[in-house]
């Protein structure tokens, strides 16, 4: 009774046979081995499993794997494609936006969703945007500062002229 | 020269893996042939097990084995810290078994386990297990549990009492209170909390039939202690046949200190099925029932003093709810770690406390961030406000008047920290409380609050300001004190550090402590870099694996920086001294003539005669030429026992606004001035404070575990238990004073718990201050809108 599905995960088509009851987060972690996406609860409260589906932040425990058939999923593992930290990742590091790191991948994916919609959010808007992501270590303070910093870096990056080619 | 990084906010070396999804937490580990274990948990809070039928479950798809308690020959889990230690206090001990055999005492106690090919198959099979129950009456409230006619949970614990313990001078305190000008009495509740690290617990047990050895991965703060407890006390398996490993830990806050039934269960199951690895990962709902809870005290306090503000006596009677059976050090928390610090930072001459540990049909209670000290701080800081209110004095002035003066340290407090027998006393090591208070009052605008209150009132808001001038005891602890009669658990509390120096001068430091998010791989590297003069990039910090790290007691009690950090300093000192002796050999100089400047070992007055740490490491590692009696390599190990605990302190100021119409409480400002001694990494210290403060704010405003009378946990999921969210909080305003601890060479104190210890009382005092114009002098937490609205209506004579 397994269903055959194909999901584009981090830009690569992945075909899977999954039980209809299998959650997207289980498929990501257990079938595809992408363990950067975490499970912190069983009631869709904590947000540790946040990924992007077709560019939107989704708690991957609240979606069945079969519902992702034919869609595009992005996980934390794709955020530093090419080996260069995404500005949000760099800002979490710079601003000490993580301690145990368990909520961090979901928090970064939620932040990326926010900054794709709003390149200059206020602190209040940042706090509301991550309300579905629980962190028990940081008191959120440095997470807010990290997202604020990432927004500034990304704004500067998008308005800056293209980087000159490296000198020979 | 290598830049000195000690005391600077270097970015964390852990973060690269954690921000890229490459952390390796327990559930991320997968092994060939791995099976999955699920636990059938009791749906009742008090019941006898008449029979268990597992026959149908055994035939379910994918099921490898099904176990019940009678299958497992292990001992009950150990009680490591009875109240009063070895002082002869009667402790009526009842510990959980690997799986319950005859009865269950709380909803969620494990009664059977299924091992299957997949987690889903294991969970499906649980539903096919049939248990015949004999339901019994339940009691969840401590005051009801000790009352006549209450259901009796255990034959060896009449009236459900675990222990009755006391500390301090009873006669002197009775006399002080009887003769006092002013006495204030109040019943206060410190409600039960569910700690909620974002990663739940889990274990993987693997028995290797080829070697007759076990490897156990566990989400634990104490892998060395767990190996000891599981082998010597629970399973009888020899200690040298077991290796325990803690991978990355997704937060712990005390919950992962303890010996849990599932650890033994995964070991047993792996051997029983022939050596396939067995993995169990706790669901969040299980975590709420099978991992320890925190706090849960009912306290009757009496504070006495003079009309001009001198506090002369404190008498406290506390009932501590310890759950249906005991957790590993449950009785130690409301005794030594609570009642012995009840007098806080005040020179109260007469202090006496009685503590009764009580069984109820609830999840066991043990150490949660602060562990006893937040409860003590809540008692004394509420008491100081009640006393100030009674005599009409400013709460800040009352505190200032009663502070232990800065020239009185080391200070022996009358709650009895110094009274342990055997000559092993501990003292408050250092303190200077007024500067922190002054800073916090100035920054918060404390003396302009009248204007702010009037302005808020115009907006329909009741503004309140609350103080918490806390101290805490941490950096636990001198082994001779822990081992003294009447104190501590059946273990020591020293800490270890091993330094290996490779031929190339690269350094591997293995520690007995165990991080859970605090950044030890960074802070220890800062210490070693400072001590050896080599860059952090040349240092790796290892921990968490009993194979390859020296025995250590793990991380809790804000002990890692002061006890583990000192072990690292001393180990590096031994390495440096050996390098110095070898440099003398290489340079054909006297050892006394070798000066150490960073990584350079040079002959005094001859700057061209110099060897670097790397050159020395290489030459002594090869050992072609060694002085008589010197062994190759620079490796050294230190086991360090601390001479005393450390005592952070500070003043926190909370400012709240309460909507008079709805009762909704908002934390609008939070100012914290903390003195944690010297800082290894200020960025990390601030992060610890942020998180600790918010956990304490969570207790005051939102969090609370709720049981029904039938013992069902009504706040049983994250939907029902209100954890702090980003949008409910202001930016915290931190400041510092620095009084280095004289206890250790780093001058550090510890900061993992300080925020949580201080903040609950500050917010509670602010809420009561806001409500005081209505005649309210105390209100129990959490201050949800409903609770506050009812208090307002009741005070106004309404029908709430």
Contact B19 A108 (CB under 8 A): yes
State residue B84's pLDDT score: 86
Identify all chain A residues contacting B251, using CB atoms and an 8 Å cutoff. 99-100, 102, 136-137
Of B467, B468, B370, which Cα lies nearest the Cα of B757?
A: B370
pLDDT at B480 over 90: no
In whole angstroms, give the CA distance from residue A4 to residue A18: 7
pLDDT (average), residues B308-326: 98
List pLDDT tens digits, range B287-299.
Answer: 999 999 999 999 9
Q: What is the pLDDT of residue A165?
A: 45
Chain A hits for B197, Cβ within 8 Å: 100, 102, 136
Cα torsion B766, B770, B773, B779 to 10°: value is -70
Which residue of A lies nearest to B199 if distances are taken between CA atoms?
A40
DSSP B678-693: S-S-HHHHHHHHHHHH
Q: Compute the nearest-CA separation of B253 from chain A (Å).
A: 9
Question: B245 has which bridge partners?
Answer: B217, B545
Cα–Cα dist B297/B340, whole Å = 16
- The pair of structure tokens assigned to B643 is 């001479």
Dump pLDDT digits (tens) for B572-584.
999 999 999 999 9
The pLDDT-based confidence of A166 (bands split at 50, 70, 90) is very low
Q: What is the mean pLDDT of residues B639-666?
A: 96
Give the pLDDT confidence score for residue B429 in this predicted structure: 87
Res B416: pLDDT: 65
What does the pLDDT average to over B342-366? 97
B607 pLDDT more than 90: no
> Span B294-478+644-795: which CATH code?
3.30.365.10
Does the pLDDT value for residue A43 go beyond 60?
yes
CB pair distance less than 8 Å for B20 and A36: yes
Task: Answer for the pair B660, B785: CB distance below 8 angstroms, yes or no.
Answer: no
> Who among B198, B285, B692 is closest to A46 (CB)?
B198
Burial B89-103 (b: 16+ CB within 10 A, else e): bebbbbbbbbbbbeb
Pick from B12, B17, B195, B198 the residue to mutate for testing the A interface (most A CBs within 10 Å): B198
pLDDT, residue B422, reads: 52
Per-residue pLDDT of B547-598, as tens digits, reads 988 999 999 999 999 999 999 999 999 999 999 999 999 999 999 999 999 9
Contact B732 A126 (CB under 8 A): no
Chain B residue at shortest CA distance from A101 = B18
pLDDT in the model for residue A167:
39
Do B14 and A96 make contact, defined as CB atoms within 8 angstroms? no
Residue B358's alpha-carbon distances to B88, B209, B296, in angstroms, are 18, 43, 11
pLDDT band at B330 (very low <50, low <70, confident <90, very high): very high
Chain B residues touching residue A130 (CB < 8 angstroms): 726
Q: What pLDDT is stored for residue A163 in this prediction?
A: 45
Among partner residues A94, A96, A101, which is closest to B687 by beta-carbon distance? Answer: A96
Q: Which domains does chain A have, with CATH numbers?
A: 3-78 (3.10.20.30), 81-159 (1.10.150.120)
Compute the average pLDDT of residues B648-663: 98
User: Does B283 sit within 8 Å of A128, measured CB to CB?
Assistant: no
Smallest Cα distance from B515 to chain A, Å:
9
Tokens linked to B337: 């770690």
B347 with B321: CB under 8 angstroms?
Answer: no
Task: Write the ipTM.
Answer: 0.97
Nearest residue of chain A to residue B18 (CA atoms)? A101
Q: What is the pLDDT of residue B447?
A: 96
d(CA A60, CA A23): 7
Contacts of B732 in chain A (CB under 8 A): 139, 141
- pTM recorded for the entire structure: 0.97
Determine which of B106-110, B164-168, B410-414 has the lowest per-residue pLDDT on average: B410-414
Mean pLDDT of chain B: 96
Q: Do B231 and B242 contact (CB within 8 A), yes or no?
A: yes
Distance of CA B404 to the CA centre of its chain: 26
Residue A89 with chain B: CB contacts under 8 Å: 19-20
* Phi, psi (deg, nearest 5) at residue B237: -70, 135
d(CA A99, CA B391) in angstroms, rounded, equals 44
Task: Determine the CATH number of domain B494-640.
Answer: 3.30.365.10
CATH ID of B31-136+197-252+256-290, from 3.90.1170.50, 3.40.50.1000, 3.40.50.12500, 2.30.29.30: 3.90.1170.50
Q: What pLDDT sits at residue B484?
A: 73
Q: Which of A115-124, A152-161, B653-662 has the lowest mean pLDDT?
A: A152-161
Q: Count Cβ atoms below 10 Å from residue A53 Cβ, excluding itself.
A: 17
pLDDT at residue B420 is higher than 90: no
**What's the pLDDT at A168?**
37
Q: State mean pLDDT over B262-269.
A: 98
Q: Which chain A residues have a beta carbon less than 8 Å from that of B693? A: 139
Asked if the domains at B31-136+197-252+256-290 and B494-640 fall in one CATH topology, the answer is: no
Helix axis angle, A87-94 relative to A104-117, nearest 10°? Answer: 120
- Chains A, B: CB contacts within 8 A come to 173
Q: Do the strands A50-53 and A72-74 form a parallel or antiparallel pair, or are they unpaired?
A: antiparallel
| Cα B644 → chain centroid | 18
What ranges do the domains of chain B cover?
31-136+197-252+256-290, 294-478+644-795, 494-640
- Cα separation, B565 vs B524, in Å, equals 7
Chain A hits for B22, CB-CB cut-off 8 Å, are 36
Cα distance from B255 to chain A (closest Cα, Å)? 13
Tell me the C-alpha distance between B35 and B268, whole Å: 13
Measure in Å the smallest separation between the Cα of A105 and chain B Cα atoms. 6
User: Residue A67: its pLDDT value, please?
Assistant: 98
Residue with tokens 């739940």: B200
Residues near B738 by Cβ (< 8 Å), separated by ≥ 6?
B675, B677, B678, B679
Taking a C-beta distance cutoff of 8 angstroms, is the pair B251, A137 a contact? yes
For residues B219 and A163, give the distance between their C-alpha atoms in angstroms, rounded to a whole number.
Answer: 45
For residue B12, the chain A residues in CB contact (below 8 A) are 93, 96
pLDDT, position B492: 84
Residue B412 pLDDT: 86
Q: Out of B12, B285, B726, name the one closest to residue A130 (CB).
A: B726
């Amino acid at each position: 009774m397994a269903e055959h599905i194909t999901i584009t995960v981090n830009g690569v088509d992945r075909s899977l046979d999954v039980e209809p009851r299998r959650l997207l987060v289980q498929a990501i972690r257990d079938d595809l081995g992408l363990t950067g996406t975490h499970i912190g609860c069983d009631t869709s409260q904590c947000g540790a499993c946040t990924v992007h589906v077709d560019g939107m932040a989704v708690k991957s425990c609240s979606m069945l794997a079969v519902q992702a058939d034919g869609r595009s999923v992005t996980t934390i593992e794709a955020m530093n494609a090419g080996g260069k930290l995404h500005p949000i990742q760099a800002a979490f590091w710079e601003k000490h936006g993580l301690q145990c790191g368990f909520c961090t991948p979901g928090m970064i994916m939620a932040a990326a969703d926010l900054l794709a919609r709003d390149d200059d959010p206020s602190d209040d808007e940042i706090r509301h945007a991550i309300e579905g992501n629980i962190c028990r270590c940081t008191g959120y303070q440095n997470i807010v500062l990290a997202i604020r910093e990432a927004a500034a870096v990304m704004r500067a990056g998008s308005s800056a002229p293209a980087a000159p080619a490296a000198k020979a | 020269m290598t830049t000195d990084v000690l005391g600077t906010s270097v970015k964390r070396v852990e973060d690269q893996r954690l921000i890229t999804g490459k952390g390796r937490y327990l559930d991320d580990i997968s092994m060939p042939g791995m099976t999955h274990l699920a636990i059938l948990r009791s749906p009742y809070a008090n019941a006898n097990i008449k029979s268990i039928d597992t026959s149908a479950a055994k035939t379910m798809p994918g099921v490898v084995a099904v176990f019940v308690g009678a299958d497992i020959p292990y001992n009950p889990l150990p009680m490591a810290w009875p109240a009063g230690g070895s002082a002869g206090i009667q402790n009526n001990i009842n510990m959980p078994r690997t799986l319950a055999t005859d009865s269950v005492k709380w909803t969620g106690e494990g009664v059977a386990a299924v091992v299957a090919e997949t987690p889903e198959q294991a969970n499906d099979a649980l539903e096919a297990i049939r248990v015949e129950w004999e339901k019994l009456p339940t009691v969840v409230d401590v005051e009801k549990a000790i009352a006549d006619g209450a259901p009796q949970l255990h034959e060896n614990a009449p009236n459900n009492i675990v222990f009755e313990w006391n500390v301090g001078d009873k006669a002197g305190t009775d006399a002080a209170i009887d003769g006092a000008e002013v006495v204030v009495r109040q019943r206060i509740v410190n409600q039960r909390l569910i700690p909620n690290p974002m990663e739940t617990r889990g274990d993987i047990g693997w028995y290797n039939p080829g070697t007759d050895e076990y490897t156990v991965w566990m989400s634990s703060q104490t892998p060395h202690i767990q190996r000891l407890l599981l082998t010597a006390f629970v399973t009888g398996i020899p200690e040298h046949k077991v290796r325990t490993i803690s991978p990355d830990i997704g937060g712990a806050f005390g919950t992962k200190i303890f010996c849990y039934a599932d650890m033994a269960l995964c070991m047993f199951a792996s051997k029983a099925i022939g050596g396939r690895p067995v993995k169990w990962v706790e669901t969040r709902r299980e975590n709420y029932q099978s991992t320890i809870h925190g706090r849960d005290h009912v306290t009757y306090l009496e504070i006495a003093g003079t009309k001009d503000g001198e506090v002369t006596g404190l008498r406290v009677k506390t009932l501590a709810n310890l759950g249906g059976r005991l957790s590993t050090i449950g009785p130690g928390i409301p005794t030594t770690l609570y009642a012995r610090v009840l007098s806080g930072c005040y020179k109260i001459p007469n202090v006496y406390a009685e503590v009764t540990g009580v069984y109820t049909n609830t999840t066991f209670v043990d150490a949660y961030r602060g562990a006893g000290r937040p409860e003590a701080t809540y008692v004394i800081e509420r008491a100081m406000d009640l006393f100030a209110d009674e005599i009409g004095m400013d709460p800040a002035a009352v505190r200032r008047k009663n502070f232990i003066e800065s020239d009185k340290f080391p200070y022996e407090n009358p709650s009895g920290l110094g009274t342990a027998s055997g000559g092993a006393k501990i003292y408050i090591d250092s303190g200077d409380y007024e500067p922190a208070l002054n800073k916090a009052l100035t920054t918060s605008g404390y003396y302009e609050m009248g204007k702010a209150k009037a302005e808020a009132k115009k907006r329909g808001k009741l503004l309140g300001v609350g103080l918490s001038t806390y101290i805490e005891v941490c950096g636990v602890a001198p082994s001779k004190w822990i081992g003294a009669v009447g104190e501590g658990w059946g273990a020591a509390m020293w800490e270890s550090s091993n330094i290996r120096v490779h031929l190339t001068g690269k350094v591997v430091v293995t520690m007995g402590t165990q991080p859970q998010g605090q950044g030890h791989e960074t802070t220890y590297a800062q210490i070693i870099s400072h001590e050896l003069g080599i860059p952090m990039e040349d240092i790796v910090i290892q921990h968490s694996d009993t194979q390859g790290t020296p025995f250590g007691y793990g991380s809790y009690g804000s002990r890692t920086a002061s006890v583990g950090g000192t072990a690292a300093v001393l180990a590096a000192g031994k390495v440096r001294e050996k390098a110095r002796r070898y440099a003398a050999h290489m340079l054909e100089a006297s050892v006394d003539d070798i000066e150490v400047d960073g990584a350079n070992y040079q002959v005094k007055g001859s700057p061209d005669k110099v060897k670097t740490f790397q050159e020395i490491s290489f030459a002594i590692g090869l050992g072609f030429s060694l002085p008589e009696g010197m062994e190759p390599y620079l490796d050294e190990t230190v086991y360090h026992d601390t001479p005393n605990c450390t005592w952070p302190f500070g003043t926190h100021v909370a400012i709240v606004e309460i909507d008079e119409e709805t009762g909704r409480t908002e934390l609008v400002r939070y100012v914290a001035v903390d003195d944690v001694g010297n800082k290894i990494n200020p960025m990390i210290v601030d992060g610890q404070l942020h998180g600790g403060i918010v956990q304490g704010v969570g207790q005051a405003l939102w969090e609370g575990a709720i049981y029904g009378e039938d013992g069902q946990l009504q706040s049983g999921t994250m939907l029902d238990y209100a954890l702090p969210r980003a949008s409910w909080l202001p930016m915290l305003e931190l400041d510092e004073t620095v009084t280095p601890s004289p206890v250790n060479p780093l001058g550090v104190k510890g900061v993992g718990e300080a925020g949580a210890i201080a903040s609950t009382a500050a917010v509670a005092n602010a809420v009561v201050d806001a409500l005081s114009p209505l005649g309210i002098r105390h209100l129990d937490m959490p201050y949800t809108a409903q609770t506050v609205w009812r208090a307002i209506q009741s005070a106004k004579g309404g029908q709430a």
